[in-house]
């Protein structure tokens, strides 16, 4: 099923906020999960560490990738017309960060296994 472009001007207030909330949540949660994934990744590379979180780290990156793709899909379907100009800019930056950092985190997770 091909997703159609959503005309944000034709949306009801309830639908507009539903899409905008999905974008906000995807950007914020994805950014948070990616950052936590990188923190846990580096904590697992401390020599002689006691707490092992490498199992959780992989899921953090996968979850962040999922939220990043969801946010990117909403942005593409609405042509990034949700919110103010500043909202559009910062959500774009957050989605780009989430996608690039989660993909590089997954790569690093498999390339440099924990100690």
Average pLDDT over residues 67-75: 97
Taking the domains of the chain in order of start, what are their residue ranges?
Answer: 34-111
Exposure pattern of 72-100 as b/e (b: 16+ CB <10 Å)?
A: bebbeebebebbeeeebeebeebbebbbe
- Distance CA(51)–CA(108), nearest Å, equals 19
The reported pTM is: 0.92
Question: Is residue 89 over pLDDT 70?
Answer: yes
> What local confidence, expressed as pLDDT, does residue 1 receive?
46
Question: Is residue 7 over pLDDT 70?
Answer: yes
- Distance CA(35)–CA(28), nearest Å, equals 11
Q: What is the CA radius of gyration of the chain?
A: 17
Question: Is residue 16 over pLDDT 90?
Answer: yes
Contact by Cβ (8 Å): 15, 78: no
Higher pLDDT, 14 or 51: 14
> What local confidence, expressed as pLDDT, does residue 2 receive?
60
Mean pLDDT of the chain: 94
Percent of the chain's residues with pLDDT above 70: 98
- Distance CA(20)–CA(22), nearest Å, equals 5
Contact by Cβ (8 Å): 33, 106: no
Higher pLDDT, 7 or 99: 99
- Residue 3 — pLDDT band, cuts 50, 70, 90? confident
Contact by Cβ (8 Å): 5, 77: yes
- Distance CA(93)–CA(76), nearest Å, equals 14
């Amino acid at each position: 099923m091909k997703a159609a472009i959503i005309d944000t001007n034709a949306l009801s207030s309830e639908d507009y906020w539903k899409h905008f909330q999905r974008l906000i949540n995807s950007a914020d949660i994805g950014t948070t999960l990616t950052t936590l994934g990188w923190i846990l990744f580096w904590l697992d590379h401390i020599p002689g560490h006691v707490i092992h979180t490498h199992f959780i780290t992989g899921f953090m990156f996968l979850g962040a990738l999922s939220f990043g793709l969801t946010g990117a899909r909403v942005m593409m379907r609405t042509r990034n017309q949700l919110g103010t100009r500043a909202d559009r800019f910062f959500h774009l930056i957050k989605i780009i960060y989430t996608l690039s950092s989660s993909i590089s985190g997954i790569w690093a997770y498999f390339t440099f296994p924990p100690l």
